[in-house]
Amino acid sequence: DLQVQLDKASGKISPHMWGIFFEDINMGADGGIYAELVKNRSFEFDHPMMGWKRLGNVPEGTFLIVNDGRRKGNPRSLKIHKAADIKIGLQNEGFRGMGVKQGNDYEFSLLYRQASPDMQVKVELLNEDDKVIGTAALLLSQGASWQTGSVTFTSLETSPKGKLNVWFEGAGDVEADMLSLFPKDTWKGRSKGLRKDMVQLLADMNPDFLRFPGGCIVEGRDLANRFQWKKTVGPIEERELIINRWNTEFNHRLTPDYFQTFGLGFYEYFLLAEDIGAEAVPILNCGMACQFNTGEVVPLDELDEYVQDALDLIEFANGDTSTPWGKLRAEMGHPEPFYLKMLGVGNENWGPQYIERLAVFQKILQEKHPEIEIIASSGTDPEGERFEFLDGKLRAMNIDIVDEHYYRPPAWFLSSADRYDDYDRNGPKIFAGEYASHTTRPNGPGRSTWEAALSEAAFLTGLERNGDVVTMASYAPLFGHVDGWQWSPDLIWVDNLNVYGTPSYHVQKLYSLHKGTDILPVKRDGQNVTGQDSLYASAVYDANTKDLIIKLVNYNDQPIDANFQLDTKRKINGDATKITLANESLDVANSLEEPLKIQPQTTQVTYKGKTIKDTFLPYSFTVIKVPVK
Ligand code: AHR
């Protein structure tokens, strides 16, 4: 028997409890949610022709890469000098091919400048067998300044691995840059926007917050390649790309073509957060590069630029349109503020060098923006010495929120369901900013199995029970592209055309969709239910819908009969909803072939009186929602 203390709430669930961690890892942004299909559109990758192949018999000097330092952020362009009697062009391979769909429209665009009047561009979309499945022509007009040309055409077939040919026809000289191909059918129909199917899965989670842009890419492999938000806003052709921190050998996988073009920049992140009803939670570099890479630090007396970035970001998000950064936000299309409330300083940074730098940020932010809560990093080691050190220091500094990361085996998640039960309520709040149960680490990449997800579901009962002090939680990383990943497991897997949620996705989504407002103690023999007989439970009351919501994990290979005794003066109102995620094998996973192998099953049930009596499947996570009178 389990007692649910329906009339004795122990606290309020944080209003921003369940959210999303976004990082451009595993082709999450470029080649992923950012719907651009052309790789290296502005010739700024390490090698300017990466992703491109010359077509035709190209005489020497026909294609030149021009580097013009006057073109801010994007100095390289392609100069074409062409005689009438030759056929020349370029082919782009896309990010592991281009995913295109039959009957959908695609917009090709480029920036160009042409001295002579006669050139035209012809584009061809090819499928994986080099068959032409879409064409368009674009006449280029003469002019001394750069101009945009674009043309829309329809794909006649679906192809997961298309390519794009760009032919230059006529005779003369033309300079070209930002050769781009986007689907017209993006999230909310935004021009040059985001992949609709990927955003939809995020929106379906009903997330309370969106943390961006990472992760290690905040830090960069060195300080020169740290994430600098100011370089990611304004016209996209002026955003200066950098090498991705994950363009490295990791888990024995090398992705040498991984760059951050920042078409998905800070403005777009804020917009995405707003679109999906989530609070924007940006994390900024604290003056330290990734300590797993170079670990460079900026001298303390040169930290001003970094702190200024934080102050200016607050202005960009919240400032009046008469302020310089507020004005830019308005010019980009959003005069209304984004209502930023939280800001992270550093990601997985540690050591006294972190504390010194954090203190500088804290002092100035508290002086100038006491309304903004500061999130500090606790590193990756929430059990060991590093964590002890940080926990003590961050407490002493009275930091608002501490970001803890756990990539641990399932056994750790199961045994840590009580992690916050006795946590000091007077200090900082906790952001479980990156959690994921890793079935095979450290010997190799883990899979997103039911074992991983069910152990997370058990751990999350503990976060929910302590939802007054653990005020935010997000799984990490978010996306993995099956043809270009560095890190696994991930919450959502994609290829160029498809997307599916892992069992872990369904677990967090169930928590998020059944969040409630008040934490209700669930006891067994007077104790929290944290693994006795391999059962884990938590409960909340939703004051908005007047529902009691119980969550139970049965981590046994047998069904379990459980009785929830409701300790209340109220009555439960008969018809209830029971949602179950279950599988008798812990080793199964969803996949592109079977995307919904593990998915929630909903049934309507009736419970009478003050008892909820039911049988719970082997290896299952169940959510029961009962109206209360
Ligand atoms: O989620 C993948 C990485 O794990 C993040 O970039 C980093 O913060 C952590 O080490």
Query: Which H or E run contains 456?
Result: helix 450-465
Average pLDDT over residues 291-301: 93
Higher-scoring residue by pLDDT: 116, 18: 18
Residue pair 318/336 in contact (Cβ under 8 Å)? The answer is: no
Mean pLDDT over residues 394-415, rounded?
A: 95
Among candidate residues 348, 373, 451, 464, the one labeled active-site is 348
Ligand 1 nearest atom to the CA of residue 245, by list position: 6
- Nearest CA residue ID for atom 2, ligand 1: 477
User: What is the predicted pLDDT for the residue at 441?
Assistant: 59
Strand arrangement of the beta sheet that strand 2-4 belongs to = 527-528, 522-524, 2-4, 560-566, 611-616
pLDDT score at 234: 97
- Ligand 1 atom nearest the C-alpha of 218 is 6
| CA 627 – ligand 1 centroid, Å | 40
- In whole numbers, what is the pLDDT of the chain averaged over residues? 95
Reply yes or no on whether the pLDDT at 249 is more than 70: no
Q: Tell me if 26 CB under 6 Å of ligand 1.
A: no
Q: Which CATH class is domain 20-35+188-518?
A: alpha beta
Residue 334 has pLDDT above 60, yes or no: yes
302 a catalytic residue: no
Whole-number Å distance, alpha carbon 249 to ligand 1 midpoint, is 15
- Stretch among 168-177, 252-261, 369-378 having the lowest mean pLDDT: 252-261
pLDDT in tens, 36-59: 999 999 999 999 999 999 998 888
Name the pLDDT band for 60 (thresholds 50, 70, 90).
confident
pLDDT, residue 176, reads: 97
Whether the pLDDT of residue 292 is over 90: the answer is no
Mean pLDDT of 364-384: 90
Counting residues of the chain whose pLDDT is more than 70, the rounded percentage is 98
Q: What CA–CA distance (Å, rounded) separates 168 from 87?
A: 7
Answer whether 434 contacts ligand 1 (Cβ < 6 A). Answer: yes
What pLDDT shows up at residue 381?
A: 72
pLDDT of residue 61: 84
CA atoms within 13 A on the CB side of 484: 23
Ligand 1, atom 7, lies closest to the CA of 215
pLDDT of 556 above 90: yes
Please tell me the predicted confidence (pLDDT) of residue 447: 84
What confidence tens digit (pLDDT) does each residue in 525-551 have?
999 999 999 999 999 999 999 999 999
pTM of this structure: 0.97
pLDDT of amino acid 44: 97
Architecture in CATH of 52-183: Sandwich (2.60)
Which two tokens mark 40?
């290296």
Closest approach atom of ligand 1 to CA 487: 2
The interaxial angle of helices 352-368 and 385-396, nearest 10 deg, is 30
pLDDT in tens, 459-486: 999 999 999 999 999 999 999 999 999 8
Q: Please give the average per-residue pLDDT across 496-524, as a whole number.
A: 98
- pLDDT of residue 117 exceeding 70, the answer is yes
Could you tell me which of 472, 464, 454, 465 has the C-alpha nearest to residue 414?
A: 454
Per-residue confidence (pLDDT) for residue 541, from 0 to 100: 98
Quick one: pLDDT at residue 444?
Answer: 60
How large is the average pLDDT for residues 338-361?
Answer: 96
Amino acid at 454: L
Using one digit for the tens of pLDDT, what is the confidence trace for 431-458?
999 999 998 755 566 788 999 999 999 9
Banded model confidence at residue 390, pLDDT cuts 50, 70, 90: confident
Cα–Cα dist 388/394, whole Å: 10
pLDDT single digits (tens) 190-209: 999 999 999 999 999 999 99
- Averaged over 317-339, what is the pLDDT? 98
pLDDT of res. 443: 55
CB-ligand 1 contact for 25 (6 Å cutoff): yes
Q: What's the pLDDT tens digit per position in 594-624?
A: 999 999 999 999 998 899 999 999 999 999 9
pLDDT, position 568: 93
Other CB atoms within 10 A of residue 303 CB? 18
The answer, yes or no, to whether any atom of ligand 1 lies below 6 A from the CB of 477, is yes
Confidence of residue 306 (pLDDT cuts 50, 70, 90): very high
Question: Is 23 near ligand 1, meaning CB less than 6 Å away?
Answer: yes
Q: Please state, for a pLDDT cut of 90, what percent of the chain lies above it.
A: 88
Superfamily of domain 2-9+522-627 in CATH is Golgi alpha-mannosidase II (2.60.40.1180)
Q: What is the pLDDT of residue 20?
A: 98
Cα(434) to centroid of ligand 1, in Å?
A: 7
Q: Quick one: pLDDT at residue 316?
A: 98
Task: Spell out the domain ranges in the chain.
Answer: 2-9+522-627, 20-35+188-518, 52-183
Rounded to the nearest angstrom, the distance between the alpha carbon of 379 and the centre of ligand 1 is 10
DSSP tally for the chain: helices H, then strands E: 10, 36
Confidence class of residue 384 from pLDDT cuts 50, 70 and 90?
confident
What ipTM goes with this model? 0.99
CB-based burial label for 11 (10 Å; 0-12, 13-18, 19+): middle
Question: How many angstroms separate the alpha carbon of residue 377 from the centre of ligand 1?
Answer: 12
Residue 571's pLDDT band, with cuts at 50, 70 and 90, is confident
What is the position in ligand 1's atom list of the atom closest to the CA of 348? 8
The atom number, within ligand 1, closest to the CA of 476 reads: 1
Closest residue to atom 1 of ligand 1, CA basis: 477
Mean pLDDT of 272-294: 96
Ligand 1 and 347: CB distance under 6 A = yes
Ligand 1 site, residue 487, Cβ cutoff 6 A: yes
Helices (H), 263-384: 266-275, 304-318, 324-331, 352-368
Q: Given a cut of 80, is residue 574 above it in pLDDT?
A: no
CA of 238 to the centre of ligand 1 (A): 28
**Average pLDDT over every residue of 230-238:** 97
Q: What is the pLDDT of residue 608?
A: 82
Between 166 and 388, where is the model more confident?
166
